[in-house]
Chains A and B, each alone.
Chain A
Amino acid sequence: MIEHIISTLPQVLIDGLALGAVYAIIALGYTMVYGILELINFAHGEIFMTGAFIGTALFITLSGLGFLAVMPALLALLLVLIVTSILTGFLGVGIERVAYRPLRKAPKLITLISAIGVSFLLQDLVRFITELKKGNYILTGPSLFTEQISIKASSILSSFADAQIKSSTIILVVTAIVMMIGLDYFVNRTKWGMAMRAVAQDRDTASLMSINVNKVISLTFFLGSALGGATGVLFAVQYGTIDPYIGFILGLKAFTAAVLGGIGNIRGAMVGGLVLGLIEMFAAANLSVITSNVFTAEYKDVFAFIILIIVLIYKPEGIFGKAVAEKV
């Protein structure tokens, strides 16, 4: 039993890190909006999904025009990432303007329902457009960054088995880390970031200090949605196939990650995402071995959520929840 767990550990860590990085960046979108508006933006998972579709459509167009063959793949990815994140960023701002701002004075529940409505709208809109263009709604992009790099983990410790890492996984993790560090810097070190933190602490007082609250909220939605859309592109590159319903499960897990890390706290969301991804991958690979086939991999989510419940029982504000005063 222990042998199995140790020998698969390097591979589990790599796969868990990739999944966790995706959870972490989506969780950022939830946590930023919650920090500033105390609103759970359930449409965020769908913004991620829309980003994945826009990115894949761009990749298909690029390869159709023959650009992918002449252009270095990394440059193409960078281009697609930038275009997609700008588009989804504005999508997020638009959603806030249309569906949330008119309801800002309304009870929180009303805005929550509005968010769920937006999420259904986006799902079916994307499905409709894809079906119109392609006949069915499952979209598969061109395969990029598929080189396998073998990691000789057995040379570190003889009981480890060798692991494999796809180059797209490296890109995914590196981009995620760059985005997270960039966001952390932006929020903590720049003037706009300070304004965001101020609005998060006290909206009314912030507006008295000549901060344009609406602008700051728009900016928050833009940043969160741009990051979500960019993650969608990375996700599409990593897994190849997407459908309009990927946002639901991933959004739910990312939201969980945000709660685990302490909702409203940016560093908490990052850690929460990584922890959830690692736990889930570990459970999927080892649960049946640990429980001698009583519980199999299909219970990985149950396992992950039991951990969540245990953490929240002892620390209801989440892992990083202490810093309540400094929400964003």
Chain B
Amino acid sequence: MGIKKYFSVLGSTALLMSLMVGCGGNDEKETGSSKDSKVIKIATQSPLSGGSANLGESIKLGAQLKLEEQKKAFEDLGFELQLVPYDDQADPKKGVANAQLIGADADYLGLVGHLNSGVAIPSSEIYEKNNLLMVSPANTAVDVTERGLKTVTRIVARDDLQGPAGAQYAIEKLGAKKIFVIQDKTAYGTGLADAFKKAAEEKGAEVVGYEGVTIGEKDFNGVINQLLSKKPDFVFFGGMYTEFGLIVKQAREKGLEIPFMGGDGVDSSTLVEIAGDAVKNVYYTSVAGDTKATEEGKKFAENYKSKFGKEIESFSAYGYDAAGVLLESIKNAIEANGKKLPTREQVVSEAKKVQDYQGIVTKVGFDDKGDNTYAEVYIYKFNEAKYPGSLDGKVSK
């Protein structure tokens, strides 16, 4: 059944493509006659149900807000904008199935999504086949853009930026000289810790220890005794919040008041619950910035609230900016195509030309791979035992 479906989708896509080419030919003769009937559909794909529905919906609402603002401008050009939200359920299978539906409908010129890298990676293979532009508001996995797909772009920072950004911040802003690195022996934790260690050594700090802990254990006194005897002035942890919370708590109990730092894996309210007051003077890196830090951001948050009756989430503004970049590309493609409906290929090539789009939370300019050259890593700090921490600074690429 799977193969059958695949062929039918492929067939219908081919058919639609040929129709579109045909239409394009006709348009040249009768310009302006059907000016008010051309529909441009934009899709969003994010989890709208399940555990991360909250974040998924915030991406959709952010994109929706941008689309409504741009509706008038597109009507003036003779096009009607439509947003069609899809629910990928944070499930790769569902994401791919949706991607095939979207790819088959020629009215779609682009897509904002996904929340989960695990869903974005297989789904983007389908977009690539259909030449459909994907602008990701939230995917940080390195592989999203490293596979050389030409239709894939993202406006957030990559995972491999976090470690070096943390190291730069620790050494230049916090003055760390003797650093101790702990990791949890997982692919994520080791990768993050290694990237941090390498960058820290390049910047001239001394790494006095590099140790691994086991996930699921609760007693980390062995490693903490090493901290006590090696007396580092900064500790970096690559791993998740449960182990990090306990390490911080047990270290503070032994009188270690030095700063600790973790990656986005420790960005959780449970960290505060586990460590309690010990969480003070703990830093974490995140790819999501604080939207309300700027005037435009505050205005955006108010708009969002009056429109949807909800507070913004960390990725709301990223959904908004991703949709902004997408619409900008489509608009440029329309202009380049002599005010006519552009092809998907034209939209993709216009998107790659975006070099300084000013969004609400981030500036966007794509490199060859589709990564954002202006992407920043944000450093948060806990000043009190309350989640989330407050924005302490940011490090750009």
Q: Which residues from A are CB-within-8-Å of B223?
A: 284-285, 297
The stretch of B86-94, B245-253, B318-326 in contact with A is B245-253
Q: Which residues from B are CB-within-8-Å of A4?
A: 229
Interface residues of A in 1-33 (CB under 8 A from B): 4, 7-8, 11-12, 15, 18-19
| A266 interface contact, C-beta 8 A | no
Q: How far is the CA of A280 from the CA of B270 in the complex (A)?
A: 28
**C-beta contact mask, B243-285 vs A, less than 8 Å → 1, else 0?**
0011001100111000000000000001001101000000000
Contact A8 B229 (CB under 8 A): yes
Partner of B221, one of A15, A240, A241: A15
Contact B242 A243 (CB under 8 A): yes
Q: Which residues from A are CB-within-8-Å of B221?
A: 11, 15, 19, 281, 284
| A48 interface contact, C-beta 8 A | no
The stretch of A61-69, A88-96, A135-143 in contact with B is A135-143
Q: Which residues from B are CB-within-8-Å of A246?
A: 216, 218
**C-beta contact mask, A192-235 vs B, less than 8 Å → 1, else 0?**
00000000000000000000000000000000000000000001
The stretch of B41-49, B111-119, B205-213, B368-376 in contact with A is B205-213
Given A143-B276, A241-B218: A298 and B229 interface contact (C-beta under 8 Å): no
Residue of A whose beta carbon sits closest to that of B183: A298
Residue of B whose beta carbon sits closest to that of A235: B218
Contact A281 B222 (CB under 8 A): yes
| B358 interface contact, C-beta 8 A | no
Q: How far is the CA of A301 from the CA of B254 in the complex (A)?
A: 24
Residue of A whose beta carbon sits closest to that of B184: A298
Most buried by A among B225, B226, B228, B253: B225
Given A8-B229, A241-B274, A249-B217: A300 and B222 interface contact (C-beta under 8 Å): yes
| A164 interface contact, C-beta 8 A | yes
Q: How far is the CA of A282 from the CA of B225 in the complex (A)?
A: 10
Residue of A whose beta carbon sits closest to that of B182: A297
Q: Which residues from B are CB-within-8-Å of A285?
A: 222-223, 225-226, 229
Contact A7 B229 (CB under 8 A): yes
Contact A12 B225 (CB under 8 A): yes
Q: How far is the CA of A281 from the CA of B212 in the complex (A)?
A: 14
How many residues from A make CB contacts under 8 Å with B? 39
Interface residues of B in 172-226 (CB under 8 A from A): 185, 209-214, 216-219, 221-223, 225-226
With both chains docked as a complex, state the minimum distance between the C-beta of A303 and any C-beta of chain B, in angstroms: 11
Residue of A whose beta carbon sits closest to that of B212: A298
Q: How far is the CA of A222 from the CA of B226 in the complex (A)?
A: 40
| A154 interface contact, C-beta 8 A | no
Q: Which residues from A are CB-within-8-Å of B274?
A: 138, 140, 240-241
Q: How far is the CA of A301 from the CA of B225 in the complex (A)?
A: 17
Given A8-B228, A136-B270: A280 and B216 interface contact (C-beta under 8 Å): no
| A188 interface contact, C-beta 8 A | no
Residue of B whose beta carbon sits closest to that of A146: B253
Q: Which residues from B are CB-within-8-Å of A288?
A: 209, 211, 226
Q: How far is the CA of A90 from the CA of B254 in the complex (A)?
A: 38
Residue of A whose beta carbon sits closest to that of B230: A4
With both chains docked as a complex, state the minimum distance between the C-beta of A8 and any C-beta of chain B, in angstroms: 5
| A185 interface contact, C-beta 8 A | no
Q: How far is the CA of A270 from the CA of B347 in the complex (A)?
A: 72
Q: How far is the CA of A239 from the CA of B243 in the complex (A)?
A: 12
With both chains docked as a complex, state the minimum distance between the C-beta of A232 and any C-beta of chain B, in angstroms: 12
With both chains docked as a complex, state the minimum distance between the C-beta of A210 and any C-beta of chain B, in angstroms: 46
Q: How far is the CA of A74 from the CA of B270 in the complex (A)?
A: 28
Q: How far is the CA of A285 from the CA of B254 in the complex (A)?
A: 15
Q: How far is the CA of A248 from the CA of B276 in the complex (A)?
A: 26
Given A4-B229, A8-B228, A166-B253: A239 and B212 interface contact (C-beta under 8 Å): no
Given A296-B212, A298-B212: A284 and B254 interface contact (C-beta under 8 Å): no
Q: Which residues from A are CB-within-8-Å of B214?
A: 249, 298, 301
Q: How far is the CA of A208 from the CA of B351 in the complex (A)?
A: 88
With both chains docked as a complex, state the minimum distance between the C-beta of B180 and any C-beta of chain A, in angstroms: 11
Contact A15 B219 (CB under 8 A): yes
Given A166-B253, A249-B216: A15 and B225 interface contact (C-beta under 8 Å): yes
Q: How far is the CA of A249 from the CA of B218 in the complex (A)?
A: 10
Q: How far is the CA of A284 from the CA of B246 in the complex (A)?
A: 16
| A305 interface contact, C-beta 8 A | no
Contact B249 A240 (CB under 8 A): yes
Residue of B whose beta carbon sits closest to that of A134: B273
Residue of A whose beta carbon sits closest to that of B273: A140
Q: How far is the CA of A110 from the CA of B62 in the complex (A)?
A: 57
| A190 interface contact, C-beta 8 A | no
Residue of B whose beta carbon sits closest to that of A282: B222
Q: How far is the CA of A133 from the CA of B276 in the complex (A)?
A: 20
Contact A164 B254 (CB under 8 A): yes
Q: Which residues from B are CB-within-8-Å of A8?
A: 225-226, 228-229
Contact A298 B219 (CB under 8 A): no
| A128 interface contact, C-beta 8 A | no
Q: How far is the CA of A123 from the CA of B253 in the complex (A)?
A: 30
Q: Which residues from B are CB-within-8-Å of A249?
A: 214, 216-217
Q: Which residues from A are CB-within-8-Å of B242?
A: 138, 241, 243
With both chains docked as a complex, state the minimum distance between the C-beta of B172 and any C-beta of chain A, in angstroms: 27
Q: Which residues from A are CB-within-8-Å of B270?
A: 136, 138
Q: List 15 A-B contacts (CB under 8 A).
A: A8-B226, A8-B228, A15-B219, A15-B222, A19-B221, A138-B273, A140-B273, A146-B253, A161-B229, A249-B216, A283-B222, A284-B221, A285-B225, A296-B211, A297-B212
Beyond A288-B209, A288-B211: 17 further Cβ-contacts under 8 Å? A4-B229, A8-B228, A11-B221, A11-B228, A18-B219, A138-B274, A140-B273, A140-B276, A146-B253, A243-B242, A249-B214, A249-B216, A284-B225, A296-B211, A297-B226, A298-B211, A298-B212
A-B CB proximity, top 7 nearest: A284-B222, A298-B212, A15-B221, A285-B225, A239-B218, A297-B211, A241-B274
Contact surface of A with B, Cβ cutoff 8 Å: 4, 7-8, 11-12, 15, 18-19, 136, 138, 140, 143, 146, 148, 161, 164, 166, 235, 239-243, 245-246, 248-249, 280-281, 283-285, 288, 293, 296-298, 300-301
Contact surface of B with A, Cβ cutoff 8 Å: 185, 209-214, 216-219, 221-223, 225-226, 228-229, 242, 245-246, 249-250, 253-255, 270, 273-274, 276
